Amino acid sequence: MNIVMLSLAFLILAPIAGGLLAGIDRIVSARLQSRVGPPLLQPFYDVLKLWDKENLVVRRSQNFYIFFFLILTIFTGMIFFSGGDLLLVIFAFTLADVFFVLGGYKASSPYSSIGSHRELIQIMSYEPAILFTAIGLYMLTKSFSVAEIVRSSSPAIIYLPGIFLCFLYVLPIKFRKSPFDLSTSHHGHQELVKGITTEFSGKTLAAIEIAHWYENIIVLGMLSLFFSFNWPLALGTLLFIYFITIVVDNVCARLRWDFTLGSSWAVALVLGAGNIIILDFLKR
């Protein structure tokens, strides 16, 4: 029963929290640019407007892939927040992104195809950091179960600082923010054409936005595992990190795809693998 309740709580509360974070993002970004900015609930208004608009498509099958992108993202969050297997969470999370990429390719637009190429590069960039996080937490707690990791008395942030920094480095990729916003062109000064979502509209575009809200909550949930020994500290740290990513998003230009991929792998190998080697030495 606990698993069902936690899954339902994620299903209902995650998009609300994700939409509020998106609203905070817009307000903070506006203030950094000396603007007043939209109201806090503007992301919800935008999604409701999209839901009422006509759903124009190049190929009907492109919406099929976006539907599974949303469903798999929700499935991933349900597994994670109900205390399921972390490896299954990572697999489902990646599979959801693959469906998103397939939807972009299916639209047969040069802009969405380029965006899909870049999305694949982003997946390759952040995957090592995510995997090292799972490996490090397993070495520390002897379990891939999220519930067991949360119940562990070992403060992960103390034993896994390198992996934590590695996770922070790729965090803008999952948040789709500069300097690693390659596939969706979050800022108009980078590219006027949106990228992977160019050929989506109406309810499908609204579903993509909602899926991104779910994604952000899942990523923050993964990050909270480093502070699960103290939940007030975890909440404060997550809000601070989210604020910093907004600031970085507004002050940094977008970097090239080759730098994104190369630097992410280098950071993962140096900080992530290095932390695992040191932890293995300490556990002997």
Residue 186's pLDDT is: 66
Q: In this structure, is the dihedral angle defined by the CA atoms of residues 136, 141, 142 and 143, taken in order, positive or negative? A: negative
Residue 269's pLDDT is: 93
Q: Rounded to whole angstroms, how far apart are CA atoms 14 and 251?
A: 28
Please name the residues in contact with 213: beta carbons below 8 A apart, sequence gap of 6 or more: 14, 15, 17, 18, 19, 21, 22, 43
Those residues of the chain that have pLDDT short of 50 are none
Specify whether the CB–CB gap between 150 and 81 falls below 8 A.
no
Residue 144's pLDDT is: 93
Residue 191's pLDDT is: 61
Residue 244's pLDDT is: 94
Q: Rounded to whole angstroms, how far apart are CA atoms 71 and 211?
A: 8
Residue 274's pLDDT is: 94
The H-assigned helical ranges of the chain are 2-32, 42-52, 61-81, 86-106, 110-141, 146-151, 156-159, 161-175, 202-224, 231-251, 257-267, 274-283
Residue 190's pLDDT is: 60
